[in-house]
Chains A and B, each alone.
Chain A
Amino acid sequence: MSLSSNARTWIARYGVLVIFVATFAAFSLLKPEAFFTGVTMKAILRDCVPLLIISLGVTTVLVMNEFDLSAAGLISLCATLVIVLLSTEFEGLNYILAIVLTLLIGTALGGGNGFLVAYVKLPSFIITIAMSTVYVGVSLLLVESKSVFEGISPSYVKIASGTFLGFSNQVFIGLVAVIVMHVLLRLTEPGRYMYAVGGNPEAASLSGLRVRLLKLSGFAIVGLAAAITGILLTSQAGAANPNTGTGLLLPAYAAAYLGSTMFGRGLFTPLGTALGALYLQVVGTGLLILNFSGPLVQIIQGGILALAILVSRFARS
């Protein structure tokens, strides 16, 4: 194509952002009365948070050139686990204790994946698929393959459904998560090291970085993110079922990849991922308001992801 290199640079840097804004504008024009309203905007911000948090988790391992495909299975496991721990039908623990235990167990399980990848040197792609199957099996066992509604403390439900300053609590949780991950990955030493590991593990190791420990930590962060996501989803629904996380795996990776195309450098960043997750939610909510059916929503979301990657590739070539 005969595009000047300046134009290419511009498209590479801002092309996906332009698609983002254009989509938003299109929904606003098509259904101003239903889409471009305070209520809808707040709902979008709230609804994107579970996806946002697990996306931030997988971003950490993507930075190091690894995959964690057990993220969704782990969300399901943590979701059933926290409910089983706190529901009076089962263990009936204090809900705060149940949450703390779930966060710890999620982190430990993620760290376990990291151990298998970093120390036992198993390929992350396939071992996390295997572990995911195990997690889903365990979560089915925990609740005997049924959804659990009973015996859930109202205080627990309030975590996700409560509001503060007119916004859902989830929005603040999401905001804190983005800030924490941005600081960790972009501003601290371990963050810089994680990018170095992704860029050249051999050189990172020869520079004295603890490559294996960094990888293990990355997977532990995915575990923590999965636990938080599982807690938010069950708190919001006031119920747990063993398929809670299933639909989040591909969107989480889509959000991270969309985010990496957002500012042109092809780098996975927490801020990019946050925009990616937000965008997927805008499209999902917008299409819902336009009365598109579920299958169509999937087709369009997938198409947009492919388009975004295409635009950034074309412009960078």
Chain B
Amino acid sequence: MVSVRGVTKRYPGVVALDDASVDFGSGEVIGLVGKNGAGKSSLIKVLAGAERPDEGEVLIDGEPLPRNYDARHAHELGLAFVHQELSSFPGLTVAENVALGTRYPRSVGPLVDRRGLRRRVAAVLGELESTIDPAAHIEDLTAVEQRVVMIARALYHEARLLVLDEPSVSLTLEEVGHLHKIVRGLRAQGKSVIFVSHRLGEIISLTDRIVVMQDGSVILEQPTSEATEASLVAAIAGGDPGLRPPAQLPARAEAGAEPVLRVRNLRLEPRVEDISLEVYPGEILGLAGLVGSGRTELARLIFGAERPEAGTIEIDGRVRRLRSPNAAVRAGVALLPEDRRHEGLVLDFSVRENLTLASLAQHRIGRLPVPSRASETRTATETIERLGIRTPGPERAVRRLSGGNQQKVVLGKWLQRRERLLIFDEPTQGIDVGAREDVFASIRELAESGRAVIVISSDFSELVGLCTRVVALREGRVTGALEKESISEEALVRLAYAADE
């Protein structure tokens, strides 16, 4: 139904799509996988009419796209895009969001027939087996409900091809299950779905065919029945060296060392009931817990973004009242946020400016607060090399780097400082296999240099390979701690889920 032929798209200094060719048929679920920067997003942008290819062509139903192809054409041809960032309209109801862009049904003159609108939208939501109230306000919905609304929107507009970009990110297991059910339902209706995901498990269980991209080209297309997780990892990683064997665990906290962080009886209703824990220098402490276990709230408390109702936070043996993230930074705590584009980077700043933002005072000329450009560039170049950041140079705007490279820049920013404690919130979110190993290596290096590290991850297998100790949280309480060899995925799952037993 959609045929991409030899499409090339260049940005200054980067080839985003390099002679990419692929067909998307009717009634199939296609898994689109590849590293960050492999060209998945660029391909989707071309289909959506947000970018025009420099070479090659795209055919829909055998017809080449018009020269002035844009988002409206895509919509008319039955293509719908559910982006990773939710793009619904706050202030409007579910029904108004779903039907936006079509003519709302009318009652008298120009007045909208609200009941009729809700009835129609309820019918579409019914097809998705969803119980969302069409009259609800969109901002009152959970993330998965909002995503379901976006899918309902595509159905309401009679889309034939849906592109779901990382739809399962930040959803709970149960919600992911519901989402998969919806995707299978769409296929049964004869719709096509392009499913973009870094989670190979769901790609294999859900899709009919898998398309792997690398360096802007399609390097592998195969029926899902012929693929295994291992074969996909190999294809995605491509020419890169394979996964490194797990590095040696960093030295265990020295006996008798003072903890960098000691949290006592912390409480913040409704999510944090009573949490106490310590982190020692040289340690990588994992926080394992499901969404709602209090892990994110705990991180926000330690970072001064929230204030506890009860309990104390000690850093290096001193009780601190952290009034703001800023106070936490000055006390020696760094947070690498999950949402790095919005919280970690100044996108219009260059790589150099972002890398030195938290440590600019180290580059002073003499004692004046005037940074030396040469000194900054030296540091930036070193960091780019050390972390393998892919950029044409230190002056490239961070906005133009891929997700994995952006994450490395956030990391690089904190490597410049002598932070006592670093908190990584979902450090590999949306990052490809290769970049992931680089990030892990940097985390280990930080611990080896005597800093304390906390890693929050919903991917327990990641914690097993990385952490020296893992604390499991459930419903705002610590349910157990595992050390070194005793850390295993099953044990963590047991501790995190146990309430259901």
Contacts and interface: CB of A to CB of B under 8 A. Distances in A.
B326 A189 contact: no
A204 B346 contact: yes
A200 B369 contact: no
A207 B342 contact: no
Contacts of B413: 207
Interface residues of A, number: 21
B387 to A, nearest CB: 17
Interface in B297-346: 324-326, 329-330, 335, 337, 342-346
A190 B369 contact: yes
Given A188-B369, A189-B371, A192-B371, A206 B346 contact: no
24 contacts: A187-B370, A188-B368, A188-B369, A188-B371, A189-B361, A189-B370, A192-B353, A192-B360, A196-B346, A196-B353, A199-B346, A199-B347, A200-B342, A202-B343, A203-B343, A206-B329, A206-B343, A206-B344, A207-B357, A207-B358, A207-B413, A209-B326, A210-B326, A211-B326
Contacts of B326: 205, 208-211
Contacts of B324: 205
A195 interface: yes
Contacts of A189: 360-361, 364, 369-371
B85 to A, nearest CB: 15
Interface in A202-256: 202-211
Interface string B104-128: 0000000000000000000000000
B329 A202 contact: no
Given A189-B371, A206-B335, A208-B330, 17 more contacts: A183-B370, A188-B368, A188-B370, A195-B346, A196-B346, A199-B348, A199-B349, A200-B347, A203-B342, A204-B357, A206-B329, A206-B343, A206-B344, A207-B329, A207-B358, A209-B326, A209-B357
Interface of A: 183, 187-190, 192-193, 195-196, 199-200, 202-211
Closest A-B pairs by Cβ, 6 of them? A208-B329, A199-B346, A189-B369, A207-B358, A200-B346, A202-B343
B346 A203 contact: yes
B96 to A, nearest CB: 27
A188 B353 CA distance: 13
Interface string B10-32: 00000000000000000000000
A187 B368 CA distance: 11
Contact of B325 (A190, A192, A205): A205
Nearest to A9: B12
A202 B340 CA distance: 10
B337 A206 contact: yes
A201 B346 CA distance: 8
Contact of B357 (A183, A188, A196): A196
Nearest to B328: A208
A208 B360 CA distance: 11
B8 to A, nearest CB: 15
Contacts of A187: 370-371
B360 A203 contact: no
Nearest to B399: A199
Nearest to B12: A5
A13 B353 CA distance: 22
Nearest to A199: B346
Nearest to A187: B370
A214 to B, nearest CB: 11
A149 B82 CA distance: 68
Given A207-B358, A208-B330, A208-B358, A202 B369 contact: no
Contacts of B371: 187-189, 192
Contacts of A193: 360
B203 to A, nearest CB: 32
A203 B364 CA distance: 22
Contacts of B329: 206-208
A189 B359 CA distance: 10
Q: Considering residues B348, B357, B360, B361, which has the most beta carbons from chain A within 10 angstroms of its beta carbon? A: B357
Contacts of A199: 346-349
Nearest to B333: A208
Contacts of A196: 346, 349, 353, 357
Contacts of B343: 200, 202-203, 206
Q: Considering residues A192, A202, A204, A206, which has the most beta carbons from chain B within 10 angstroms of its beta carbon? A: A206
Contacts of B335: 206
Nearest to B339: A202
Contacts of A183: 370
A147 B276 CA distance: 69
A220 B361 CA distance: 24
Contacts of A209: 326, 357
Contacts of B361: 189
A39 to B, nearest CB: 39
A205 B358 CA distance: 10
A196 B356 CA distance: 11
Contacts of A205: 324-326
A195 B348 CA distance: 10
B458 to A, nearest CB: 21
Contacts of B369: 188-190
A234 to B, nearest CB: 34
A306 B255 CA distance: 69
Contacts of B344: 203, 206
B52 to A, nearest CB: 12
A195 B371 CA distance: 14
Contact of A203 (B330, B345, B368, B370): B345
